[in-house]
Amino acid sequence: MHDAETGSLARTPEPPYYAVVFTSLRTEDDAEGYGATAAEMERLAAQQPGYLGIESARADSGVGITVSYWVSPEAIRNWKQVAEHRLAQRMGREKWYRRYRIRVSRVERDYAWERPGEAPAS
Amino acid sequence: MHDAETGSLARTPEPPYYAVVFTSLRTEDDAEGYGATAAEMERLAAQQPGYLGIESARADSGVGITVSYWVSPEAIRNWKQVAEHRLAQRMGREKWYRRYRIRVSRVERDYAWERPGEAPAS
């Protein structure tokens, strides 16, 4: 249902960069349409200028968190305005979400750990 | 397995505030111990000075995202040093995680949407 990012963590550069934290609670409607659009939006986001990566998880409870990473606030604004993305946002409000919250933040430091012997992140 | 925050989104104040984005990939070991400790850490975090909220989701793929919100970088540093939390971090590296990444970020703006007629966030 998701794309190649599933099962991996985003490989982002040294901070600073920007993170959009999108947390949502799903309705129980249209799981198929939602999944297809979510995958398509991940694919499309990855083609935008300034895109650095994405991480996504949704629990059985219906809570989902998607974090996308960008080089600048301008790159985030541009992605927000892409036509297909605007359509997906509208469909989300009409069908898929009970509520959501979007937080735009500036990543100031990060730290990565990997189990010894673990294959490098894809 | 999780606490009362599960199924709800964090109610945070007006920005600026700080977000710790913890993304991880689980091993398949010790699901019970992991779940109990995760719930306990959420409970303990909520008692720390400067805590604003937490959101968490883990997908069947093993990818998990937990975002905790704090008033300041100092509050984040203090939580990192709490003894029980340090022990949980060590157990995470020994047993529960294949890899993880922690990003400390400053939330600059946010936007909330709620379906009309939806019950207020818990």
Helical H segments across chain B, by residue range: 31-45, 73-81, 83-91
Put simply, whether B78 touches A (Cβ < 8 Å) is: no
Judged against a pLDDT cut of 70, whether residue A6 lies above it is answered with no
**What does the pLDDT average to over B6-24?**
91
* Cβ-Cβ contacts under 8 Å for A15 (sequence gap 6 or more): A107, A108, A109, A110, B103
**What does the pLDDT average to over A58-70?**
92
Put simply, whether A98 touches B (Cβ < 8 Å) is: yes
Judged against a pLDDT cut of 70, whether residue B75 lies above it is answered with yes
Confidence at residue B60, expressed as pLDDT on a 0 to 100 scale: 83
Kindly state the helix (H) or strand (E) to which residue B37 belongs, with its residue range.
helix B31-45
Put simply, whether B110 touches A (Cβ < 8 Å) is: yes
Confidence of residue B4 (pLDDT cuts 50, 70, 90): very low
Q: What is the pTM of this model?
A: 0.91
Confidence at residue B61, expressed as pLDDT on a 0 to 100 scale: 83
Put simply, whether B90 touches A (Cβ < 8 Å) is: no
**What does the pLDDT average to over B102-122?**
88
**For A1, which residue in chain B has the nearest alpha carbon?**
B61
- Helix, strand or coil, per DSSP, at residue B77: helix
Judged against a pLDDT cut of 80, whether residue B6 lies above it is answered with no
Judged against a pLDDT cut of 90, whether residue A39 lies above it is answered with yes
**What does the pLDDT average to over B66-81?**
97
- Three-state DSSP string of A28-88: CCCHHHHHHHHHHHHHHHCCCCCEEEEEEEECCCCEEEEEEEECCHHHHHHHHHCHHHHHH
**What does the pLDDT average to over A97-117?**
96
Q: A7-30: per-residue pLDDT in tens?
A: 589 999 999 999 999 999 999 999
> ipTM for the complex?
0.90
Q: With contact defined as beta carbons under 8 Å apart, do B53 and B11 qualify?
A: yes
Q: With contact defined as beta carbons under 8 Å apart, do A99 and A1 qualify?
A: no
Q: Do A98 and B113 touch (CB under 8 A)?
A: no
**What does the pLDDT average to over B53-70?**
93
